[in-house]
Structure 1
């Protein structure tokens, strides 16, 4: 059947976090280049403006339609129907409230009658509703195969021959994972024995992962075997930026005046806020290391605090020649591609890990919770970064950060890290288009099978 004349409709339904929404958007953009799909993109009202910006920037208004879903829960006001700027103590409340969207979704899928649903992990009811109407459902997890392999080992089957034990977390780090698992079991999966893997059991033969065989080949193969599904990597989905347009961005002007491979970039993502002790540890590490730095620091919306108040007394003055601290948006991709950037101190959110590796920048892994703790171990084990050590109280110390920065930026071992991460970057880029072609073809075939059944 000619894919130029046939068209299929896909309903994309990610979790309400920007770290999930934008991989779904980037995947949409890339499969639209390959096949004659039409995308319905479903989210809450508060998320739709930023999604629309992406659609407009990429001139996709004829290919992607927005669909608003409604949460009937009264526990949270509509401006909190997103993880962006959501106070951390309300994260579980939002997950619970999200479950009340099932009736709204039922109306959406009945009215749209898509040829395929691509869905996230916090809404198993979406896959059930699709399958009950003869619509194939495909889970897309914006995580890595290593993380899912370790999670499967911990919560589904303690395989005595599990080959990736160095990635497994110690008991003290499993506490946050266990709390989330218990909550999801009670409020999302309703004590189903398959728990977070129940959506994969409902899937139509394949699972999409935001990863690449160029980095996670052995983990992809392992997870395919234990899940009894074909794991289809869609690549890192790193957004390409025009690195020639520096314009008047002060941070890039400042970076350009530094020496090659002299500067460390520090960012902990848009949804993790450092506490006072963590801020002091990072500041101390940067002072002791005497390295150039760009530090992005964020505070919860509504918190009345200035940078000067948050940082150790006199830090900004003492560090003004070597570093800048910003609390606004910065062009992360452009910073990582800059020849003067030597390393990325990261919380190891999966998108940040992918971006850093894609651009060939070693990672200094400083994770705080959940999947990021596994991602940090992966970075360390695979030789594309170094995981920070914590003290006996499980806290990060400034002295240890300084030691790690010096090791990565100045020591001979840092040269080996850069060689390794660039090698992995080259391999990811080599298979990138091929993986996307394969993913688009797999989705197309599922739509064709559905059409043949009707």
Structure 2
């Protein structure tokens, strides 16, 4: 294995990051990496992931970086070193599928298993890089175990805290009521459990999460106290570890990948020509895909609502259900019926950040992935929740609790109606209650804009302190043994 590592002086603190194999997780880790090296000149980052994910990270970093002539220090991003980890070879999971992006849902477990089987590769990386600290994702306790075998401290980095606190409550206090009634586990979400195999899978995931808490010196969360204070404190109490927020960690809109610039310009020009607060932006991220019957109801709801809309619809790279052609035909039919003045359907990339802050956007219909929720909060745009699985239904409940959105009613696996979709859109765009939601969303965005953003300096201090204490303990043990 060959890993290129830039030269570092003895005072440099080296951090190895290992996110889950999702672009959403990778981007969250990358943004934390950029903030840490901006905060401390002596911190360097080794960012470890599969080649297919690092491909996009290189684009974001504008790799390779160049030093600025005005400073003796290298450009900050030159202290982010990309390290490839290679998963075991598999015909079922070729290298271009070593990411959840466009991955069919039935292969997620296969990907997770393959990642866990890359422990030998990760052990070699640890021995070559020899980091002072590992920052790992919640599904990879095996990475923290390998790190601790080498006296390297480990810290787990999560997204939202409310879901982590609820799932941990269910694991550590089964049968007891969650102390915050606005948040609950319910079967009224699309991905409800269907049988014993699902129960077993969920329990296995929760066991990995609990082990991650145990192996972590403290917990980092992409959150801030203005929205999750009580959940941050409760999680800390549950697991007996300090939970340190990072703040929203939203990249500067000017530093976000532009994708296809001509396509982006076309979308923004279309949006410019609509009326103020009249457009609904519909996006479910790049890793969750709607079955045909659900897309049919969503399309019906958008048409029924009478609102203008931009719908970003994506499909997995491997079409196992044979319905992709039908779905694309459905989208084509919707676009034809409503006409180009009212509806814009996109099946590739869209400039989400720029769309969310546009004056003509009226609502964001989202699956409630945490990054999308945070971006919606910062934009001050009312949200309409149509969550799918895992943390998304809980994120949707938090959004409703904060008064910045509404949730489309669901009753089991994909059981929602076009009428409910239309009613939720009309509630946000046309009713007094929708105006209250809009005001709440704008007020929260103002809070976010006026924040002091002092979490990263605090986190950097805690990282430095942890590494210093661990090194001192290791040296003490060595000296005792030597004597």
Structure 2: how far apart are the matches of 1:449 and 1:73? 40
Shift of 1:18: 0.7
Deviation at 1:168, TM superposition (A): 1.1
Offset at residue 394 of structure 1 (A): 5.7
1:159-238 to 2 correspondence within 5 Å? 160=176, 162-171=178-187, 173=189, 174-175=192-193, 182-183=200-201, 194-204=207-217, 206-238=218-250
> How does 1:34-433 map onto structure 2 within 5 Å?
34-35=39-40, 36-56=42-62, 59=65, 61-72=77-88, 74=90, 76-142=93-159, 144-158=160-174, 160=176, 162-171=178-187, 173=189, 174-175=192-193, 182-183=200-201, 194-204=207-217, 206-242=218-254, 249-301=265-317, 303=319, 305=325, 309-311=329-331, 313=333, 315-390=335-410, 395-431=415-451, 433=453
Structure 1 CA distance for aligned equivalents of residues 241 and 451 of structure 2: 21
Residues 10-19 or 282-291, more deviating: 282-291
Question: Given that residues 348 and 373 in structure 1 are in contact (C-alpha distance below 8 angstroms), is that contact kept between their aligned partners in structure 2?
Answer: yes
3-state SS of 1:329 partner: coil
Q: Structure 1 residue 264: deviation in Å?
A: 0.7
Count of residue correspondences: 444
Cα distance in 2, alignment partners of residues 180 and 445 from structure 1: 41
314 and 132 in structure 1: CA distance in 2 versus 1, 3 angstrom threshold: closer
Q: How far did residue 138 of structure 1 move? A: 0.2
Unaligned runs of 5+ in 2: 1-8, 66-75, 476-483
User: Per the alignment, in what secondary structure is the counterpart of residue 305 of structure 1?
Assistant: helix
5+ residue gaps, structure 1: none
2:462 alignment counterpart: 442
Q: Is the 8 A contact 2:193 2:199 kept in 1?
A: no
Moved over 6 A (4+): 243-248
Q: CA deviation at 1:117?
A: 0.4
CA RMSD of aligned residues (A): 2.6
With over 3 angstroms needed to count, the CA separation of the structure-2 counterparts of 1:73 and 1:288, relative to structure 1, is same
TM-superposed deviation, 1:412:
1.1
What SS does the corresponding residue of 1:47 show, helix, strand or coil? Answer: helix
Tell me by how many angstroms 1:449 deviates: 2.0
Q: In terms of mean alpha carbon deviation, does 328-337 or 217-226 score higher? A: 217-226
Q: Check whether the contact 2:387–2:396 (CA below 8 A) recurs between aligned residues.
A: yes
1: distance between equivalents of 2:138 and 2:426? 39
Counterpart of 1:67 in 2: which secondary structure? strand
1:175 is paired with a residue of what secondary structure?
coil
* Change beyond 3 A, Cα 1:95–1:335: same
Q: CA 1:259–1:105 in structure 2 vs 1: closer, same or farther (change >3 Å)?
A: same
Give the TM-score taking structure 2 as reference length: 0.85
Q: Relative to structure 2, which stretch is displaced further, 176-185 or 433-442?
A: 176-185
CA distance 1:200–1:342, change in 2 (3 Å): same
Q: Distance in 1 between matches of 2:197 and 2:356?
A: 34
Asked if 2 retains the 8 angstrom alpha-carbon contact of 1:12 and 1:117, the reply is yes
Deviations, residues 84-135 of structure 1 (Å, cap 9, x unaligned): 2212111111111111111111111122111100001222111112112111
Deviation at 1:82, TM superposition (A): 1.3
Give the distance between the partners of 2:391 and 2:232, measured in 1 at CA.
17
Give, in whole Å, the separation in 2 of the partners of 1:117 and 1:99: 16
Deviation at 1:165, TM superposition (A): 3.0
